[in-house]
Amino acid sequence: MLCGKNEALDSIMGKVDEIKGKLAEGMGALGDLEAKAGEALGELQAALPELPSVTSLQGDLAAALAGAQSDFAGALNSFKETWGDKLPEAEIQEYFDQINSVIGDPTSLLSFDPCKAFPNKELDDTGAVVVKPKVAAPPTVKPEKTKSFSEITTSLSAKLNALGEQVEAKEVTGSTQIDLSSLPSLFSPAGTSLGGSGFSGAMKTRGKVLQTVNDTFTPDVRALRIAFEKEKKKPEYNQTGGSGINGSGAAKRHRLYTTGKMTDKQVTWYEGFLDAEIAYQQVQDRRDAIKDQLLVYIEYLTGRVSQENFDKGEKDFKENPLFIDSDLELYEAQKKELDKGKSDFQGVGQHTNQVVSSVQ
């Protein structure tokens, strides 16, 4: 059996071929042609899936509306045979009061729509009532014709740019091409666009420098993290509080240690655990401090931090007792990389109008 082969469809197509053959025989085969068409229709109907039977409140109330015009009591009893134990009596009565009102006014009967008047409830396979959203009514108004782009007019209001210069109002109809590089920025006192300020080069240099710091520290960070995690996997960790909630585990270990309630083995483990935790945290602190100071240097290059403030902050930075010689060498090397993009950083500072001092 071929994948996707539909035997019912093959049978229908066979009937079509037979019909074509009869057509070739001429009008004398008209009776046979009609029979073959009937057979093809039968094959098509047999190929259609059987639709599931759905018990619909709207459908049953529509049927009750039709029956109530000649036998109101009979329509009510017939409806209750299906829905009597599914809906509250008051709800059923409300529906049939509405039906009674409609059939008493022939003019309203002509425009009455059960799909709008009654909720869309059905009975599922278990007989439970399922409430579904009402089916959206088809639109009765033709949609408005969409305007061609050439017919659309955009109004640009007059405004002042950052230099206080008047930019005149104008209207643009249809498509237009504007050379953005020829327009002064409304936000930059330097009259530059973001792209023309050196922003792209500055961001590239910034990203390269910070990534170099990350890459330099990654081996040490990874090794110390593994060592710290190894200590946490030892049985003494859970014996003395585990992770806890909101730092409760660490607090418990400290309390047990300071009150002398740890065993000798737990004390030895705990002191090694603290050494591993501190070493892991300090290597991250060294890395992050270098990155933070380089970011301050970028602010200095853009002119947003004064020479005096930068020098004071850098002095404090270099006196950090955590640093080793290679940390400061890394810092100085990355400062030189940033210096290579000094003009880009200055352009960004001028564009954003946050210059507080010039960099010589």
The residues, any chain, with a CB within 8 Å of residue 85's CB and separated by 6 or more, are none
Percentage of the chain with pLDDT > 90? 34
The residues, any chain, with a CB within 8 Å of residue 173's CB and separated by 6 or more, are 150, 151, 152, 153, 154
Query: How many CB atoms lie under 10 A from the CB of residue 142?
Result: 6
Q: Over range 321-348, report the average pLDDT.
A: 91
DSSP code at position 155: E
- Check residue 356 and give its pLDDT: 44
Among 97, 93, 91, 100, residue whose Cα is nearest residue 121: 91
Contact status, residue 341 vs residue 202, Cβ threshold 8 Å? yes
- Check residue 45 and give its pLDDT: 56
- Check residue 351 and give its pLDDT: 67
Comparison of pLDDT for 120 and 213, the residue scoring more: 213
Q: Which of 11-20, 183-192, 280-289, 318-327 comes out lowest in average pLDDT? A: 183-192
For residue range 143-180, list pLDDT tens digits in order: 777 777 677 777 777 776 545 566 777 777 766 555 44
For the record, the structure tokens of 235 come out as 């049985």
Q: Whole-number mean pLDDT of the chain? A: 79
Query: How many CB atoms lie under 10 A from the CB of residue 208?
Result: 13
pLDDT at 31 over 70: no
CA–CA gap between residue 349 and residue 355 (Å, rounded)? 6
Crossing angle (nearest 10°) for helices 307-318 and 264-302: 160
For the record, the structure tokens of 225 come out as 């993290």
In this prediction, residue 328 has a pLDDT band, given cuts at 50, 70 and 90, of: very high
- Check residue 165 and give its pLDDT: 61
- Check residue 263 and give its pLDDT: 95
Residue with tokens 């057979």: 39
For residue range 1-28, list pLDDT tens digits in order: 333 445 555 665 566 566 566 656 665 5
pTM of the model: 0.47
How far is CA 158 from each of CA 161, 165, 184, rounded to the nearest angstrom?
10, 11, 14
For residue range 47-88, list pLDDT tens digits in order: 555 545 678 888 888 888 888 888 888 888 998 898 889 899
pLDDT at 293 over 90: yes
Q: Over range 109-121, report the average pLDDT.
A: 81
Comparison of pLDDT for 28 and 354, the residue scoring more: 28
Among 35, 38, 99, 37, residue whose Cα is nearest residue 67: 99
